[in-house]
């Protein structure tokens, strides 16, 4: 009998409606999901728990998403980070790449279902923690 490991996802999103919709859709796909609404909360949760994925907005209160991303990647674990933000400038996309974000999506150009599909794709194709 094969035991399927449930993938754990942290959503860091200041828009509580977007966070809730994403959470519900991911839970429907059998992911374990937690949501936080600012960078400070994100860093506190990341100190205590391990996640396979982080869906991260950059424009968030208290501590911005760039600092959260830096913190995640500094730990050199296998946590995958999907950026989902309003920032559409090339300079922001290049910064995300430099900081080793795994994907970069612009909110106004990307329906939530595409984020869910991206997580599912990564989940199937990547050996996570």
* Number of domains observed in the structure of the chain: 1
DSSP string, 56-89: E-SS-SSS-HHHHHHHHHHTT---EEEEEES---
Mean pLDDT of the chain: 91
Domain that holds residue 28: 8-125
| Separation CA 33–CA 124 (nearest Å) | 17
For residue 24, the domain's CATH number is 3.40.50.2300
Residue 3 domain-assigned (yes or no): no
| Confidence check: pLDDT of 4 > 80 | no
pLDDT in tens, 65-92: 999 999 999 987 789 999 999 999 999 9
Amino acid 102: pLDDT: 94
């Amino acid at each position: 009998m094969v035991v399927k490991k449930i993938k754990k996802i942290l959503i860091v999103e200041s828009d509580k409606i977007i966070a809730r919709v994403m959470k519900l859709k991911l839970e429907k796909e059998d992911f374990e999901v937690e949501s936080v609404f600012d960078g400070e909360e994100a860093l506190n949760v990341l100190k205590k728990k391990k996640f396979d994925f982080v869906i991260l907005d950059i424009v968030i209160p208290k501590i911005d998403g760039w600092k959260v991303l830096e913190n995640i990647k500094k730990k050199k674990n296998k946590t995958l980070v999907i950026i989902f933000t309003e920032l559409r400038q090339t300079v922001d996309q290049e910064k995300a790449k430099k900081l080793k974000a795994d994907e970069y999506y612009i909110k106004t150009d990307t329906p939530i279902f595409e984020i869910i599909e991206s997580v599912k794709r990564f989940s199937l194709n990547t050996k996570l923690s």
